[in-house]
Structure formats: structure tokens, C-alpha cells
Amino acid sequence: MDSEYKLLSGAMVTLALATATLVVLPYLQLDDMQPSPGLKPYTEQQLRGRQVYIEMGCVYCHSQQPRSQSQAPDFQRGWGRAPVATDYYYDRPHLLGTMRTGPDLFNIGARQPSVDWNLGHLYQPRAYVSGSNMPAFPFLFELKDTAGANDKVINLPPEFAPQGKVVVASQKALDLVDYLVGLDHTYPINPGVELPTLPDEAADSQGARK
């Protein structure tokens, strides 16, 4: 019985130390942090789009955390500087991601700010990036004979456009793209220090698995 009490006490002490080290101390360190200079709160539409991003499982294939230049060539890939904690000030929950079946999206809004490109890419990725392994999301769009006055029509390359129909973006697609275009963390962490311009996503290779 004495050994059982010792085992239980040891387990409780280990759990307490782990909780203090991994939960309590980081919370105390970050409790009073403020958003990075240049970071803007999400708009209502971007928050809706962020929810679509979560529901669609985009986080399973895309990260939002470029690594430092000393750890990986993410900066050379055009994904931007390594993030700091305050870059995620408005993120609940955080969508750091652990897989890179597709490219990192921390700065997709800077690399590819075109709403039309992003909408078309969601409808059919291979129309814009040959060899892309990203799945298409046609269910986020509607095929119509004619577009309405308020419809957002997607202008696809002719070989990918449906015959006799127009492709119209749903509100979910518009919200998701608004969220993606808003992912721009190219502001400098140190005031007065400018960061290099990121390359256009259309010219960037998206298919590499890192």
C-alpha cells in the first residue's frame, strides 16, 4: 500500500510540474501581450470566412507559421518572416497547423491579393496551378444560365469553364476568400524596418510538400 501511495504522489507531482511548465508559465508570460503593430482585427466577414476555413479542414493541409531562416528555407519560399506570439492576438482558436501538403498561408493575402484568383483557385486549383494536389470545392459555387445583378461571377480559363453556364460564388466562398486575402503579416515587427515584398502566389509553386 505504501508503494501505491508513493506512485500516486509521484504521478501527481509530475502532472503538477508539467501543468506549471507547459500551461501556467506560458500564460503568465503572454497574459499582458498586445497585438503586433500593423495587425488589424478581423472584420465580421473575415470571421465568417475563418469559420468556413475551419469547417473545410484547411488547417489539415496548410500551416500559418513560417519558420525562422535558421531552421528552414521558408523565407526563400516567399512565405515571410517567422511569426511572433502577438501576430496571433485576434486568433481564437489558433490555426497554426502542422502539415504542409499545401503552402503556408500566413501571408497568402500579400502573395496573392486577387479575389478573382482565389475564388477561381477554390473552384478548380489546377486551372491556376498545374499539378496542384489541392481538392476542388465546386460545392461552394453555383452554376447558372445567367448571372444576377448581385452575383459574383468567376472568370475561369476557357478549358475549365462549364459550357453554357456561368459560375457564381456563394456567400461562403466570398467569406472564405475575404479571410484569406486578409492574411497579410508583412508589417515589420521592429518599427522602421521594412520587409522584402513577397512574390505573387500565381508564380509560386504550390504543389511542393514540405
DSSP 61-114: T--S-PPPTTT-TTTTTT--SPP-GGGGTT-SS----S--SS---TTHHHH---
Region of 164 please: left (phi>0), alpha (psi -120 to 50) or beta: left
Whether 7 and 94 map to the same domain: the answer is: no
pLDDT, residue 55, reads 96
More confident position, 23 or 89:
89
pLDDT band at residue 209 under the 50/70/90 scheme: very low
Cβ contact 186:167 at 8 Å: no
Mean pLDDT estimate for the chain: 87
Whether 17 and 107 map to the same domain: the answer is: no
pLDDT, residue 92, reads 92
Whether 97 and 18 map to the same domain: the answer is: no
Question: The CATH number of the domain where 93 resides is what?
Answer: 1.10.760
Does residue 53 belong to any structural domain of this protein? no
Whether 74 and 163 map to the same domain: the answer is: yes
More confident position, 191 or 4:
4
Question: What is this structure's pTM?
Answer: 0.81
pLDDT, residue 157, reads 93
Cβ contact 169:140 at 8 Å: yes
pLDDT, residue 190, reads 66
pLDDT, residue 79, reads 92
d(CA 172, CA 48): 8
Structural domain count of the chain = 2
pLDDT, residue 62, reads 96
pLDDT, residue 7, reads 84
pLDDT, residue 206, reads 43
pLDDT, residue 165, reads 93
Residue range 92-110, pLDDT digits in tens = 999 999 899 999 999 999 9
pLDDT band at residue 140 under the 50/70/90 scheme: very high
Give the sign of the dihedral formed by CA 48, CA 114, CA 57, CA 38. Answer: negative
Whether 76 and 5 map to the same domain: the answer is: no
pLDDT, residue 166, reads 95
Average pLDDT over residues 54-80: 93
What is the extent of the structural domain holding 2?
Answer: 1-32
pLDDT at 191 over 70: no
pLDDT at 127 over 70: yes
pLDDT band at residue 135 under the 50/70/90 scheme: very high
Whether 176 and 73 map to the same domain: the answer is: yes
